[in-house]
Amino acid sequence: MTCKDRERIFEDGTGAEWAALEAHAASCAACAEEVRAWKSLSAAAKELQDYSPNPELWTRIERTLREEGARGTQRAERKGWFSFLRNIPVGWQTALAGAFVLVLTVSLSWILVIREPGDKPGKPDSSLLKSAALREVESAETAYEKAIGKLATEAKPQLDDPATPLLANYQEKLQVLDSAIADLRAQAGVNPSNAQLRYQLLAMYQEKQRTLQEVLEMKKQ
Amino acid sequence: MGTMGLALPWKARITSAPREPATVGRWGTRVEPSEGLAGGPVKAAAVPASEDATLAAGCQSGDLHAYERLYTLHGVRMKNLARNILGSMVDAEDAVQETFLKVQRSITSFRGQSSFATWTYRILINTCYDARRSRLRKKEVAANDDAEETPRPEPRAPAAHPTLRMALERALARLTRHQRDVFLLYEVEGFRHAEIAAMLDTTETASKNTLFQAKKNLREMLEPPRPDRVPA
Nearest to A37 among B83, B165, B219 (CB): B219
Select from B25, B33, B198, B17 the least CA-distant residue to A42.
Answer: B17
**A37 to B187: CB separation less than 8 angstroms, yes or no:** no
What pLDDT shows up at residue B153? 58
* CB pairs A-B closer than 8 Å: 152
Q: Is A21 helix (H, G, I), strand (E, B) or coil?
A: helix
A34 neighbourhood in chain B, CB within 8 Å:
1, 3-4
- Option in A33, A58, A66 nearest B3 (CB): A33
Q: CB under 8 Å to B23, separation ≥6 — which residues?
A: B30, B31
Q: Cα dihedral angle (A11, A14, A16, A17), rounded to 10 degrees?
A: -20
Instruction: Tell me the pLDDT band of B90, cut-offs 50, 70 and 90.
Output: very high
Q: B 178-217 residues with CB below 8 A of A?
A: 183-184, 187-188, 205, 208-209, 211-212, 215
B3: in domain: no
- Using alpha carbons, list the distances in angstroms from residue A141 to A163, A175, A178, A194, B183: 32, 20, 15, 14, 75
Decide if A57 and B75 are in contact by the 8 Å CB cutoff: yes
Residue type, A87: N
pTM score, two decimals? 0.59
Q: Is the pLDDT of residue B36 over 70?
A: no
Let me know: does A58 contact B73? Beta carbons within 8 Å.
no
What domain range is B76 assigned to? 25-222
Residue A214's pLDDT is 85
- For chain A, how far is it from start to end, CA to CA, in angstroms? 72
* Phi–psi pair at B152, nearest 5 degrees: -110, 100
Longest dimension (CA), chain A: 124
Contact between chains at B188 and A17 (C-beta distance less than 8 A): no
Task: Return the domain boundaries, chain A.
Answer: 1-33, 88-220
Give the chain B residue whose CA is nearest to the CA of A47. B165
Confidence band, pLDDT 50/70/90 cuts, at residue B232: very low
Closest CA to B46 of B69, B21, B58, B29: B29
Contacts of A18 in chain B (CB under 8 A): 18, 33-34, 37-38
Q: Which residues of A touch B101 (CB under 8 A)?
A: 61, 64-65, 68
CB proximity list for A4: less than 8 A, separation 6 or greater? none
Domain-embedded: residue B212 = yes
Instruction: List CB contacts (< 8 A) between A13 and chain B.
Output: 34, 37-38
Residue type, A142: T
Does residue B74 have a pLDDT over 80?
yes
Q: Kindly tell me if the per-residue pLDDT of B205 is higher than 60.
A: yes
CA angle at residue B148 from B173 to B155, to 5 degrees? 40
Chain A residues in contact with B79 (beta carbon < 8 A): 54, 57
Longest dimension (CA), chain B: 69
Residue A172's closest CA among A104, A103, A98? A98
Inter-chain residue contact A69 with B104, CB threshold 8 Å: yes
pLDDT in the model for residue B165:
86
Is residue B1 assigned to a domain?
A: no
Domain with residue B198: its CATH number is 1.20.140.160
Across the interface, do B97 and A61 touch by the CB < 8 Å criterion?
Answer: yes
The contacts of residue A145 (CB under 8 Å, 6+ apart) are: A205
Which chain A residue shows the shortest CA-CA distance from B210?
A: A11
B134-193 pLDDT tens trace: 888 887 777 665 555 555 556 565 566 677 888 899 999 999 999 999 999 999 999 999
Cβ contact, residue pair A61, B71, below 8 Å: yes
**Residue B129 belongs to some domain of the structure:** yes
How far is Cα B102 from Cα B121, in angstroms, rounded to an integer? Answer: 11
Specify the number of domains making up chain B.
Answer: 1
Q: Which of B16, B67, B205 sits opposite A40 (nearest CB)?
A: B16
DSSP codes of every residue in B11-67: HHHS--PPPPPPSB-TTSSBPPHHHHHTT-S-SPPP--HHHHHHHHHHHHTT-HHHH
Q: Residues A211, A174: contact at Cβ < 8 Å?
A: yes
Which candidate, A11, A24, A33, places its Cα nearest to that of B34?
A11
pLDDT at residue B213 is higher than 90? yes
| Three-state SS annotation for A92-103 | HHHHHHHHHHHH
Tell me which residues of chain A, numbers 38 to 77, contact chain B at a CB-CB cutoff of 8 Å: 38-54, 57-58, 60-62, 64-66, 68-69
Closest CA to B18 of A44, A34, A35: A35
CA pair distance A14, A17, nearest whole angstrom: 5
Q: What is the pLDDT along chain A (221 residues), one digit of tens a residue?
A: 888 999 999 998 888 999 999 999 999 999 999 998 888 899 899 999 989 888 899 999 999 999 988 887 777 666 665 566 666 777 777 787 888 888 888 888 887 776 655 555 555 555 566 677 777 777 888 888 888 888 888 888 888 877 787 888 888 888 888 888 888 888 887 777 787 888 888 888 888 888 888 888 877 66
**Which of B100, B170, B226 to substitute to test the interface with A, most A CBs within 10 Å?**
B100
Nearest C-alpha in B relative to A43: B14
Torsion, Cα of B213, B216, B220, B223 (10° steps): 160
**Chain B residues in contact with A40 (beta carbon < 8 A):** 6, 10-11, 14, 16
The answer to whether B222 and B8 are in contact (CB under 8 A) is: yes
